[in-house]
Structure 1
Amino acid sequence: MDSEGDPVPPPPGGVLWSLAGDVRGLLMLPAALTLQVARPAVGAGVDEHSVFRTDPWGRGERSLRSLQLWVYGGEAAAEEGRRLRRLHRTIQGTDTRGRRYHALTPANYAWVHATGFPVYQHASRYLVRPFTQSQERALYREWLQVGRVLGLRDQDMPPTIEDFWPYYRTMLANEVEATAVVRELVATDAPVPPPDRGPLALRLVLRAAWPLILPPLARFRRFLTVGLMPPDAREAIGLDWTPRQERRLRRFGAVVRAIVPLLPERLRYLPRARSARAAWRARRRG
């Protein structure tokens, strides 16, 4: 396909350019995924068609690679968007409310994308810094650009940040619920296989120690998933959050904000983000 008319990813140096490849973004992803699957149609699609139970590490690795392409992939970003749409063409069925769904129905596809914006906006207050009003507007504009990369049309998403919040509140009031997948993602006793990626020696060690590692890891995942979800979304789904947990999250965020900026770039940014940032700096110097 001729790529001349392909949508372009967000600009280098923008808000997403700094945020999406930062390792702190990894801590935000579970909250975004959980909010996505709180929409019954999305939850049913993941429940019936995803391999997140049998291959969670592979599923996570592929999702992360895809997300990095949306922002840092250059000409490859649009092709990744087309690949995702091809992948979702056959995903359809009936949700928990008895409604027929298709993954590419604009309302469903847009919700999956839309959830990233409020999660980034909320979680950054703890792990990075609160956005200024201009940064928040820029983030939303850039998130719309990513939506176009994924194949969303302009009419599929609220066109401005002022339009987004009423849409978001309507979705929380009428659509989201604690679906089976939501409950599974925040459970602390769900079975999860040990990691099957990385050096063999590390995999063997993790496999042997997994019965000891998984329980605290599951509790930490739930803590971050619920805590980094916007409070109104958390309440709409019915996820409990206490003042004590809020204080713990604030302390954790303060530590993360202090340590991560001191890390060398090879530890602070994911590989594709590092490569894109280095190439951008080289072009600017040239």
Structure 2
Amino acid sequence: MSENVRMSRPHPDSGQAPAEASAPAPGRPRREAAPDPVPPPVGGVLWTVAGDIRALLMLPAALTMQVAHPAIGAGVDDHSVFRTDPWGRGERSLRSLQLWIYGGPAAVEEGRRLRAMHKRIQGTDAHGRRYHALTPAHYAWVHATGYPVYRHGLGLLARPLTEAQERRLYAEWLQVGRVLGIHDRDMPQTIEEFWPYYRRVLEEDLEATVVVRELIDPDAAVPAPDRGPLPLRLVLRMAWPWLRGPFQRVRSFLTIGLMPPDARAALDLAWTDAQERRLRRVARVVRLVVPVLPERLRYLPLAYRARRAARAGA
């Protein structure tokens, strides 16, 4: 899938001027530029849940499912800075995701920026197969993981969605896909089409790649956080030798636990009944605490500002 228009350029010494890309051939009508995709609506399901701090707990599960695809895992393994700059990488990913939903006109610009950035990401996966980040099947899978993770995570950390809410969430997630530059032909257009596609990818494509194993490793060597106010960073840097172990164990537990069970099974990730009971106890506390927080604390900064601006505009 390519967005480039190839033009025949004359030699600089030929004296011939290059043809304008916008000039139609003689007798051929001018093609109208496609309208920009529309981000999810203000007040929709995504508007409510994507900026909620509970999304921070769900995001690692989606990222792990993405890199379980060998091509995507290889791209991250070869080109990402997630090992050397995990906090910066996470911050940039989170801001990008928030822009898709709360950015207004900036959402489309962010989608274009991401596609431009991914044009150079290519290589060979662990099976010796060539990959490119913008191969439609690869790029669409990165987007597709969001829907089942939201659906599963909200059922635990908030409340199960009704059938109408599930359909609305999926329709809004398709809008996000269009913002990212994914064609409708590369995304299942209904929930009924989505689940067979999703299960086929789980059964035929996913595996516990090198990056998956690193992301769920409770003993991974993660550097101290380098984001946030300076006093907090200094305290965390000093305490990190004692905090890193508990942090990684909690992160691994939530990443695996908030992954949809069928995806967890496809990756052969161990999960016991005792772990499930512990997860549900944690989820119960989250369900009780988060809804009573002030909006400034409940929502991430970009989402909080967008929500305030929308109310002011209304």
* TM-score, reference length from structure 2: 0.89
Q: Describe the SS at the equivalent of 1:189.
A: coil
- 2:231 is aligned to 201
Look at both structures and tell me which one has the larger radius of gyration over its CA atoms: 2
Measured at CA, do residues 148 and 97 of structure 1 come closer, stay the same or move farther in structure 2, by a change above 3 Å? same
Q: 2:274 aligns with which of 244, 250, 254?
A: 244
Q: What displacement does 1:93 show?
A: 0.6
CA distance in 2, matches of 1:162, 1:13: 25
Q: 2:238 is paired with a residue of what secondary structure?
A: helix
**After TM superposition, what 4+ stretches of structure 1 lie above 2 angstroms from structure 2?**
none
Shift of 1:282: 1.5
SS at match of 2:123: strand
Is 1:153–2:183 an aligned residue pair?
yes
Matched, 1:96 2:126: yes
Report the Cα offset of residue 47 of structure 1: 0.3
Deviates more, 1:203-212 or 1:170-179: 203-212
Distance, in Å, in 2 between the alignment partners of 1:159 and 1:75 is 24
Following TM superposition, by how much is the alpha carbon of 1:250 offset from its aligned partner in structure 2, in angstroms? Answer: 0.6
Matching residue of 2:65: 35
CA distance in 2, matches of 1:109, 1:129: 30
Matched, 1:115 2:145: yes
The one of 168, 180, 187 aligned to 2:210: 180
For 2:145 and 2:129, locate their aligned partners in 1 and report how far apart those are by CA, in whole Å.
21
Q: Output aligned runs, 1:186-225, within 5 Å.
A: 186-225=216-255
User: In the TM superposition, what whole-angstrom CA distance separates every residue of 1:85-121 from its partner, at most 9, and x where no partner exists?
Assistant: 0110110011122211000000000000000100000
Q: Give the SS at the match of 2:68.
A: coil
- 2:7 maps to what in 1? none
Matched, 1:273 2:303: yes
Distance 1:28 1:126 in 2: 10
Equivalent residues in 2 for 1:26-175 (5 A)? 26-175=56-205
Q: What amino acid does structure 1 have at the position aligned with 2:70?
A: P
Q: Does 1:263 align with 2:293?
A: yes
How many positions carry a matched residue from both structures? Answer: 283
Deviations 1:36-61 (A, max 9, x none): 00000000000000000000010001
Tell me the amino acid that sits aligned with residue 248 of structure 2: A
- Cα distance in 2 between the residues matched to 1:273 and 1:138: 20
In structure 1, distance between residues paired with 2:267 and 2:291: 33
1:207 positional shift: 0.8
- Looking at structure 1, the residues matched to 309 and 119 of structure 2 have their Cα atoms a distance apart, in angstroms, of 35
- Name the residue aligned to 2:14: none
Q: SS at 1:101's partner residue?
A: strand
* Equivalent position of 1:18 in the other structure: 48
How far does the alpha carbon of each residue in 1:172-195 deviate from its partner, in whole angstroms, 9 at most, with x for none?
000000000000000011111101
Structure 2: segments with no counterpart, 5+ residues: 1-31
Tell me the distance in 2 between the aligned counterparts of 1:57 and 1:269.
19
| Offset, 1:145 | 0.1
**Deviations along 1:16-51, whole A, 9 cap, x unmatched?**
000100000000000000000000000000000000
Identity %: 71
Q: Could you say what the CA RMSD is over the residues aligned between the two structures, in angstroms? A: 1.2
CA distance in 2, matches of 1:27, 1:263: 16
TM-score normalised over the length of structure 1: 0.97
Q: State the 1:4 CA deviation.
A: 8.2
Distance across 2 between alignment mates of 1:8 and 1:63: 21
Separation in 1, partners of 2:247, 2:222? 10
**Quick check: which one's helix share is greater?**
1
User: Relative to structure 2, which stretch is displaced further, 273-282 or 73-82?
Assistant: 273-282
In the TM superposition, residue 3 of structure 1 has moved relative to its aligned partner by 9.6
